[in-house]
């Protein structure tokens, strides 16, 4: 599952192969735009942007930066080209050039070099800034892959009975992605239980109908009560 949400891309290089729908263990939910952003965003509105990572610290003394990725596309951090930097408190990202990038697998971080950032002090000044791309840069996905934004808000139904279970409110990354579903009041037997987690795998969620805004599930007995 490819993760990419407006204002937020979720995931990491390590996670993106695991965030999964429908192909046991291989993620099919993708948090991502096109690997290489388009050069010009059209509207300076944060609703039109996606966060791909957050600068968490300088790396060394030469101006390199550690970035925690929230995108499932390594090209966002490894392919040189224009990106956008959002400073804390700002409402409009500013263009900046990505020069190089590499992945540190054991830390789940990228180390990147940005144009104009030449020393540790300049890098430190960017701590907490977010790397952004235009929301229009969503890539074509393979069959059976989905963007997070496409899944949030879908209604979930029992395939056998047609009963409305609830609405997808979030995606939880795991070995296979989990749909967090807010239970419909008519379905919840325990009124204290507000949500349920449903593995997003082929056997349990065989039908994803984006045009109709629905997911059909065939959960094993007890699955929907597992969070009680």
- pLDDT of the chain, 228 residues: tens digit per residue: 555 443 444 433 333 322 334 443 455 666 644 444 444 444 345 668 888 999 999 999 999 999 999 887 899 999 999 999 999 889 899 999 999 999 998 888 999 999 999 999 999 999 999 999 988 876 667 777 787 878 999 999 999 999 999 999 998 877 778 999 999 988 877 777 789 999 999 999 999 999 999 999 999 988 877 555
Task: Yes or no: say if 159 and 206 are a contact pair by the CB < 8 Å rule.
Answer: yes
Angle 7-8-13 from CA coordinates, rounded to 5°: 145
Tokens of 170: 């979030």
146-147 sheet: strands from edge to edge? 2-3, 29-31, 146-147
pLDDT of residue 156: 97
Angle 15-21-27 from CA coordinates, rounded to 5°: 25
pLDDT of residue 63: 97
In this structure, are strands 2-3 and 29-31 parallel, antiparallel, or unpaired? parallel
Say how far apart CA 19 and CA 129 lie, in whole Å: 26
pLDDT of residue 136: 81
Neighbour count for residue 125 (Cβ, 10 Å)? 13
Residue showing tokens 């349920």: 196
């Amino acid at each position: 599952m490819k993760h990419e949400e407006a204002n937020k891309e979720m995931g990491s290089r390590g996670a993106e192969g695991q965030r999964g729908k429908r192909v046991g263990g291989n993620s099919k939910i993708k948090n991502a735009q096109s690997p290489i952003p388009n050069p010009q965003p059209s509207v300076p509105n944060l609703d039109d942007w996606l966060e791909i990572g957050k600068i968490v610290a300088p790396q060394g003394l030469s101006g390199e930066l550690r970035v925690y990725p929230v995108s499932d596309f390594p090209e966002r951090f490894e392919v040189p080209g224009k990106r956008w930097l959002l400073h804390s408190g700002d409402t409009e990202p500013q263009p900046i050039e990505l020069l190089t990038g590499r992945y540190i697998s054991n830390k789940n971080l990228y180390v990147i070099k940005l144009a104009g950032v030449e020393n540790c002090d300049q890098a430190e000044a960017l701590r907490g800034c977010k790397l952004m791309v235009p929301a229009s840069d969503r890539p074509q996905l393979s069959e059976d892959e989905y963007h997070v934004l496409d899944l949030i808000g879908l209604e979930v139904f029992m395939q056998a009975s047609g009963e409305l279970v609830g609405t997808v409110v979030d995606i939880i990354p795991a070995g296979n992605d989990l749909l967090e579903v807010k239970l419909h009041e008519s379905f919840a037997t325990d009124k204290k239980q507000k949500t349920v987690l449903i593995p997003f795998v082929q056997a349990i969620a065989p039908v994803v109908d984006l045009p109709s805004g629905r997911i059909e599930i065939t959960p094993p007995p007890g699955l929907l009560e597992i969070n009680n």
